[in-house]
Amino acid sequence: MTRIDAKFAALQAEGKKAFVAYIMAGDPDYATSLEVLKGLPAAGVDIIELGQPFTDPMADGPTIQLAGQRALDGGQTLQKTLDMATEFRKTDDTTPIVLMGYYNPIFSRGVEKFLVDAKAAGIDGLIVVDLPPEEDDELCIPAQKAGLNFIRLATPTTDDERLPTVLQNTSGFVYYVSITGITGAAAAQAADVAPEVARIKAKTDLPVIVGFGIRTPETSQSIASVADGCVVGSAIVGELASGKSVPEVLAFVKSLADGAHRA
């Protein structure tokens, strides 16, 4: 059982929904992002998504793209992202960390070496947005064998014919993208999301977490109420980009987490 599996089991026992927070590693700089990372659990975050910056982030909107560029300009590398996880694990051995990004940095490092290093750093799962199920032998299956969850995205365009393929080797949870398009775009609507979550849950026992388009405690609550939890990324990254202090950013995160936990 991974930390992700254990976290969902604990939340289910408490009758609570999950709040997942995304930050970009190295944004606005290494020290600040590490401070935010370490503060997320106390702000109510159940699972952390740690973004690995990449030069061509095709699935991301302007907010995440700019965060990635700032991180890269500041010298953030895959090794430094793993170093952040290692530092985090010195004081927190229970909060799951999902590394989210693109395949190129992993491929460049070498899959085998990457999996050994990620596991040693305390990474629990991977979301690699540009590796479709047809490429599962490339990273997904080796990752699962190494004890890492491989989390897949389902979208409004994932029809009933495609869904079983998407779910086939997925573990940890299913990330449902609430809107068609890039991160940070339109607002998510619970009325639209609810039937889609039900459709996915009819095909899998995995938790379904909804992301994209969640910026307020109210939306966090309404989306979490129709799923197993919600993810917020762009809104948190935007707070950092606006020059807010770490305590201010973490207070904002706590308001979103409280919303999800009220669901």
Distance CA 231, CA 64 (A): 14
The amino acid sitting at 217 is: P
- In 10 A of CB 221, how many CB atoms? 20
Per the listing, tokens 């702000």 go with 43
Provide the β-strand partners of residue 99.
50, 126
- CA geometry: angle at 79 spanning 119 and 74, to 5°? 145
Is residue 60 part of the annotated active site? The answer reads yes
The amino acid sitting at 247 is: P
Q: How many C-alpha atoms does 116 have within 13 Å on its Cβ side?
A: 5
Question: Where does the chain show beta strands of DSSP type E?
Answer: 18-24, 47-51, 97-101, 125-128, 149-150, 152-154, 174-177, 208-211, 229-232
**Catalytic-role residue among 49, 124, 196, 228:** 49
**Catalytic-role residue among 5, 60, 124, 239:** 60
With CA atoms as reference, report the closest residue to 5 among 129, 92, 96, 99.
96
Q: Residue 100, by phi and psi: left (phi above 0), alpha (psi -120 to 50) or beta?
A: beta
The amino acid sitting at 96 is: P
Is residue 49 part of the annotated active site? The answer reads yes
Strand, coil or helix: what is 251? helix
With CA atoms as reference, report the closest residue to 163 among 196, 128, 211.
196
CA distances from 225 to 9, 16, 208, 221, 252 (A): 18, 10, 12, 6, 20
Residues designated catalytic? 49, 60
